[in-house]
Structure 1
């Protein structure tokens, strides 16, 4: 794939706009049902904020830091380490690696809190959510500090040719993406046994499973990101003097994953908008449905009958 400055900037702008739209729709869904924002909403807003910052850094790196462009080298073919544009690239890459971990941790926590609200009456599932939240917190904190202290003393100039006291960052980045994928798969599969136990028609259960499995898109992005990083790690040996071009996917796949994760976290919350446009007003004023401990608000009205609360 040929990378360009314009491509990298366009991708970054797109992945600011798209998740912002879906978070706006999520807020509108809340407003339609006159319900206050909950913890999962605030966590999703936080993830969006980090995603916007990371994508803005990609725009800055492309416009001022040679991202997506071939690196300027000296007469000896070696990188010009004090090139101001290359220093911009190094600093923005360092910031994105740190901030994206926080953003991904927030969106994972948002999804888990959403799960807890739905199945709050089921004690084993509630404790499973708490356990997964602990894993997410540990993952976020561990890799935040791992990226921050890639070199000691702390510096964004983490490449070997600077002569800093640094660890080999490539295995660490690969482990971030691999463990991120494992956690995502675990979160994705958590509600499946709960839905399968419901005494609902097969079509209804498949619909619920489909709603929860929307996060599979994020897993697909994580797999692509991991495969891309493995390829970059193998090729970088031969292109160490053209880092701004050959490591471009490190930026945009990170921001794509964060944006799609925010979108996936919002999709199950948008039912009130569908109801608003597709149901008579009186059909939403009365309902005998709920979802776990949630009352019939905008999230889950009409999805699971009251008679099935004991089944989950």
Structure 2
């Protein structure tokens, strides 16, 4: 992790691409639920504040990058001002930490309430108790760490974005709080990801469908990977030897970048199971059929064009060979005449003249002449 450097292009890309992606996915979730004529539940509504907080994180990253506060090396302070020099990445780090804490709490609650809505029928009473216990832990986790960060320096909120000297006055160690937050976040994400696996395996469906359902939840593993990366960065930052040689602004940038990526992946993952029902809608099926028909027509036309090109090349080679040899051309004309005559005789053999009808017509003519 020592060589990891999150540069401004990565920050600009993440800050501009993820917001529209998250907006589209959350909007598609509500559109799918409405098309299914299903009532919006708490798990649906909780994605809206989570989306607003993710957008706030993106705005913070873009603003800090525009001011050269993130993604750039630490400027060298003047001699004697190491403790009083301001830290711009620390300002963005604290803002994103508070925003991410709230966003992850809403996302985790939305995920657990989704499990409750889907699996509560036909399950034991213990299932509901476990759901409520996990929800209570999520609420305590969110409020606890949010206010621990917010009041780490009591009411001196300006200590967070002024200088290192003021941060050292805080009674609570922010690095230890951040480490506890990262460890508990990874543990809770693993619990939430593993929780539905036994319930899905108990469903009466084929193994292929079970694997497909579990694959939908697998996107949450990407959020866990981002959270684990952030944890590794924080652990490395607490290493005294690493901290002495590392660029602190780059380290803070790496941490806030993966905090943002984790929130984006988590928001998309919590909406993906609801979007799976969109494939069963008639309009979506018609759209998919239209695309498949269009691609099949394109492939057929390409195959036909290739076949016509190949046949044209064969005719050109034959014509060139006949033009070079006149005897072969006369022979080919004779052969073509013979072939046409043979085809005519074959047609006559396959389709003989209706002799019976000719006889019948002749007899009718003789009868008419005798009557006259």
TM bracket (short chain): 0.7 to 0.9
What is the TM-score with the length of structure 2 in the denominator?
A: 0.68
Question: Take 1:217 and 1:237, find their aligned partners in 2: how far apart are those partners?
Answer: 28
Q: Per the alignment, in what secondary structure is the counterpart of residue 113 of structure 1?
A: helix
Corresponding residue of 1:152: 154
Question: Take 2:82 and 2:189, find their aligned partners in 1: how far apart are those partners?
Answer: 37
Q: Does 1:33 align with 2:26?
A: no
Question: Take 1:32 and 1:141, find their aligned partners in 2: how far apart are those partners?
Answer: 35
Query: Of 231, 243, 249, which aligns to 1:237?
Result: 243
Corresponding residue of 1:290: none
State the number of aligned residues: 277
Alpha carbons 1:39, 1:110 under 8 Å: kept: yes
Question: Take 1:144 and 1:156, find their aligned partners in 2: how far apart are those partners?
Answer: 17
Alpha carbons 2:32, 2:274 under 8 Å: kept: yes
Question: Take 2:203 and 2:40, find their aligned partners in 1: how far apart are those partners?
Answer: 28
Corresponding residue of 2:165: 161
Q: Does 1:175 align with 2:177?
A: no
Q: Does 1:105 align with 2:111?
A: no
Q: Deviations over 1:163-185 (max 9, x none)?
A: 42332211211111110111111
Cα deviation, residue 260, structure 1: 0.3
Corresponding residue of 1:95: 95
Corresponding residue of 1:260: 265
Question: Take 2:35 and 2:284, find their aligned partners in 1: how far apart are those partners?
Answer: 14
Question: Take 1:166 and 1:236, find their aligned partners in 2: how far apart are those partners?
Answer: 24
Query: Of 64, 72, 76, which aligns to 1:73?
Result: 76
In the TM superposition, 1:1-312 aligns within 5 A as 1-64=4-67, 66-76=69-79, 78-79=81-82, 81=84, 83=86, 86=87, 88-121=88-121, 122=123, 123-158=125-160, 160-162=164-166, 163-234=168-239, 237-239=243-245, 242-276=247-281, 279=285
Cα deviation, residue 40, structure 1: 0.7
* Greater relative contact order (CA < 8 Å, ≥ 6 in sequence): 1
The root-mean-square deviation of aligned C-alpha atoms, in Å, is 2.4
Alpha carbons 1:74, 1:80 under 8 Å: kept: no
Cα deviation, residue 147, structure 1: 0.8
Question: Take 1:17 and 1:53, find their aligned partners in 2: how far apart are those partners?
Answer: 13
Q: Deviations over 1:270-310 (max 9, x none)?
A: 123222356479xxxxxxxxxxxxxxxxxxxxxxxxxxxxx
Is the alpha carbon distance of 1:212 and 1:3 closer, same or farther for their aligned partners in structure 2, counting shifts above 3 Å?
Answer: closer
Corresponding residue of 1:305: none
What is the TM-score with the length of structure 1 in the denominator?
A: 0.80
Question: Take 1:212 and 1:6, find their aligned partners in 2: how far apart are those partners?
Answer: 30
Larger Rg: 2
Higher helix share: 2
